[in-house]
Structure 1
């Protein structure tokens, strides 16, 4: 229940919001696919990682509804995000140190 309005959102509001998020995710999917075929050297990997972070942020914030969840759930999500960030950092460091 939204405390500012005092009523539940309608089904149309949910569909509109989720449709816009889905459209944004599809646009990011197509852009990451297009970037994979553009020869930008090391920037291709960096752009792919940035797009992946944006997509995962959209999913976590809106589909998983972390903005409305309890603090312990948010802490678990942040811990998972930190772990994934460490893995991405190590992978990115490996890619950058390889000869072209």
Structure 2
């Protein structure tokens, strides 16, 4: 399972590097954020063993994920609403 997770993470890394060479304009940051969330999900479920954790640990991890999404959302809303 770790080998599959490693290959998925390497694929997402290659996607990140590939997208960095494209001119996506304002959506470059959004694409990078989506890929980062996907990487976080792989690490959390495979390497942190959240699937086999207790309910409390999963609940706390979900709270952290919601907090992270809120911070990403606020950062992206600031980025997209700036003039320039």
Q: TM-score range by the shorter chain?
A: over 0.9
Which residue pairs with 1:71 in the alignment?
Answer: 55
Is there any run of 5+ residues in structure 1 with no aligned partner, and where?
A: 1-16
Taking CA–CA contacts closer than 8 Å with sequence separation of 6 or more, which of the two structures ends up with the larger relative contact order? 2
In the TM superposition, residue 64 of structure 1 has moved relative to its aligned partner by 0.8
Is there any run of 5+ residues in structure 2 with no aligned partner, and where?
A: none
Cα RMSD of the aligned pairs, angstroms, is 1.0
What is the distance in 2 between the residues matched to 1:97 and 1:21?
36
Rg larger in 1 or in 2?
Answer: 1
In the TM superposition, residue 34 of structure 1 has moved relative to its aligned partner by 1.7
Aligned length: 84
More helix by share: 2
